[in-house]
Structure 1
Amino acid sequence: MSAPSPTSGDLAWVLTPLLELPGVQHAVVATGDGLVEGASPGLDRASGERVAAMTATLHAAARAFTTAFTNAEAPQLAQTVVESDLGFAVVVPAGRNTTLALFAEPGAKLGDIAYQMQVQVTALTRAMHAPTRQSDTAARP
Structure 2
Amino acid sequence: MTVVPKRPLLRDMSWVLTPLLEVPGVLHALVLSGDGMIQGATQALTREAGEGASAMASAVQGACKELVRKLAGQEESPVLHQVVVSTNYGFAFLIPAGDNTVMAVFAQPTVDMGVIAHAMQVQVSKLGDKVMNSPARARG
- Of 39-48 and 115-124, deviating more is 115-124
1:85 maps to 2:88: yes
The TM-score normalised by the length of structure 1 is 0.85
The TM-score normalised by the length of structure 2 is 0.86
**Residue-by-residue CA offset, 1:94-139 (whole Å, 9 max, x unaligned):** 111100001011110010101110111122224328xxxxxxxxxx
1:7 maps to 2:4: yes
Deviation at 1:33, TM superposition (A): 0.6
- Could you list the runs of 5+ residues in structure 1 that have no partner in the other structure? 130-141
Q: What residue is the counterpart of 2:137 in the other structure? A: none
The 3-state SS of whatever aligns with 1:94 is strand
| Residue number among 96, 117, 120 corresponding to 2:99 in the alignment | 96
Structure 1 outlier segments of 4+, above 3 Å: none
Q: What residue is the counterpart of 2:68 in the other structure? A: 66
Distance 2:77 2:24 in 1: 34
Q: What residue is the counterpart of 1:22 in the other structure? A: 24
Opposite residue 49 of structure 2, the aligned amino acid is S
How large is the RMSD of aligned CA atoms in angstroms? Answer: 1.3
Pairing 1:117-136 to 2, within 5 Å after superposition: 117-128=120-131
Distance 1:35 1:79 in 2: 19
